[in-house]
Structure 1
Amino acid sequence: MNILYPAYFPNIAFFTVFVQSDEIVWEVQGNYQKQTFRNRTYICNDRGKHILSIPITHVGQSNGKQLNREVKIDNSYPWQRQHWRTLETAYRTSPFFEFYEDDIQPLYGTKFEYLMDFNLKTIEIICECLQLRMPTAKTEVFTLGHESELDYRHLVSVKNVIDLVQTDYVQVFGDRHGFTPNLSILDLLFNLGPQATAYLQETKLMLRNA
């Protein structure tokens, strides 16, 4: 079994592991860390690679740490409306946007209190779109190493360099910016549709450890 952190509409590297694994366990313990895909994802629009970031509520604790499962979304800012408008602008002309629009849009019309719940829901929606099984197993304690699992928790870090071998596919603004690798799964879904699963099965992640 492989262990992954739930992320916000995770990228191609994440879903390469996801699709090629027999069993996934979600890491739900440990402390929240900045500079990760827990609250951000990357798409491509007319200006190139673009970040979508979910605002979170920072808790002023004495030790400066906050558990992952306790991180709350800052819904005082209309980030959901902004993210959805950005996705519409970027992918309205893609081959499969209208096909999956009714599945994705409700996520941006429903308020979530906790970031982890929202992240798991984004993954669940992708599973429904691609007819994949949504894993339910979660870690009970946090450990630095997992002997019985293949540890892919490092994929959640924005700073890690991932050795991903993926074939170029047609992207909406590819003629303007060239191929942009390892974007959010939404980019693959809107551009390849049902063929996204086969694409992920053929993609290779060369490094398993950070």
Structure 2
Amino acid sequence: MQNILLPVFYLPPISWFSEFLNEENEIVFEQFENFPKQTYRNRCNIFGANGKLSLIIPINHNGAREFKSIEVSYRENWQNLHWKSIKTAYQSSPYFEYYEDKMVKIFEEKEKFLLDFNLKSLETIQQILKTEKAHSLNTEYVKNPESIDFREKFSAKADSEYYAEEYYQTFSDKLGFIKDLSIIDLLCNKGPETLTYIKNVKK
């Protein structure tokens, strides 16, 4: 087993799940880092009718820096907007209707902190995947941890360094394949094959 220090993302990309669900990896989540902007910590990418679409969770700018203290803003009804975007993007995909009732629950609860919201969402995804991967939270910030450090591994702005087979996506006939989107994309398009697909993701 190897210890992996992972950031906590919002409906994470497929590459993140390939590390999270790897049986060789013991997962520790980072909660004490300074909150970095423009990352998957408060955004996910789905495949919309015009291509890649970023769904971003707004945060309260209250001076908090530590990730565990970052508060979600509910000044606008972003949960409704995100769910509508997901529904519009995937309602004609093969498996959306199978998971719709569970997925919608992600957007019904109002967690105060982004960390809690992301962890609750992950719980729901694990229920859909029928996995029970254990994880723990770190107890302090360590700049150079003994664990394998993945805190800066998954960039929302650069091309993914992970490789996986192309699969049919709702709009790929028109716009081509988009790799390493949110786990939502894979679930809606591959359904029960999702776990097998994740195991075959290579770095």
Which 10-residue stretch deviates more, 94-103 or 161-170? 161-170
CA distance in structure 2 between the aligned counterparts of 1:172 and 1:14, rounded to whole angstroms:
22
CA distance in structure 1 between the aligned counterparts of 2:160 and 2:171, rounded to whole angstroms:
23
Say whether 1:102 aligns with 2:101.
yes
CA distance in structure 1 between the aligned counterparts of 2:18 and 2:59, rounded to whole angstroms:
27
Instruction: Normalising by structure 1, report the TM-score.
Output: 0.91
Residues 174 and 164 of structure 1: CA distance in aligned 2, closer, same or farther (over 3 Å): same
1:56 paired residue number: 59
Secondary structure of 1:56's counterpart equals coil
Aligned pairs for 1:116-135 within 5 A = 116-135=115-134
Residues 29 and 69, structure 1, Cα contact 8 Å, conserved in 2: yes
Residues 26 and 137, structure 1, Cα contact 8 Å, conserved in 2: yes
Residues 21 and 133, structure 2, Cα contact 8 Å, conserved in 1: no
Query: Offset at 1:59?
Result: 1.5
CA distance in structure 2 between the aligned counterparts of 1:193 and 1:161, rounded to whole angstroms:
25
Residues 122 and 155 of structure 1: CA distance in aligned 2, closer, same or farther (over 3 Å): farther
What amino acid maps onto 1:189 in structure 2? L
Aligned residues: 200
Residues 8 and 119, structure 1, Cα contact 8 Å, conserved in 2: yes
Give the alignment partner of residue 150 of structure 1, picking from 148, 151, 158: 148
Which 10-residue stretch deviates more, 22-31 or 42-51? 22-31
1:208 paired residue number: none
Query: Offset at 1:161?
Result: 4.4
CA distance in structure 2 between the aligned counterparts of 1:33 and 1:157, rounded to whole angstroms:
11
Query: Offset at 1:156?
Result: 4.5
Say whether 1:46 aligns with 2:49.
yes
Residues 156 and 118 of structure 1: CA distance in aligned 2, closer, same or farther (over 3 Å): farther
Give the alignment partner of residue 170 of structure 1, picking from 157, 168, 178: 168
Say whether 1:201 aligns with 2:199.
yes
What amino acid maps onto 1:122 in structure 2? S
Query: Offset at 1:159?
Result: 3.7
- Structure 1 gaps of 5+ residues are 206-210
Residues 42 and 114, structure 2, Cα contact 8 Å, conserved in 1: yes
Residues 160 and 180, structure 2, Cα contact 8 Å, conserved in 1: no
Which 10-residue stretch deviates more, 72-81 or 107-116? 107-116
What per-residue deviation string (whole Å, max 9, x for no partner) do you get for residues 132-155 of structure 1? 1143311001111222x2211113
CA distance in structure 2 between the aligned counterparts of 1:69 and 1:118, rounded to whole angstroms:
11
What RMSD, in angstroms, separates the aligned Cα atoms of the two structures? 1.3
What amino acid maps onto 1:15 in structure 2? F
Say whether 1:181 aligns with 2:183.
no
What amino acid maps onto 1:130 in structure 2? L
Percentage of matched positions with identical amino acids: 36
- Structure 2 gaps of 5+ residues are none
What amino acid maps onto 2:107 in structure 1? Y
CA distance in structure 2 between the aligned counterparts of 1:138 and 1:168, rounded to whole angstroms:
33
What amino acid maps onto 1:186 in structure 2? I
Residues 165 and 156 of structure 1: CA distance in aligned 2, closer, same or farther (over 3 Å): closer
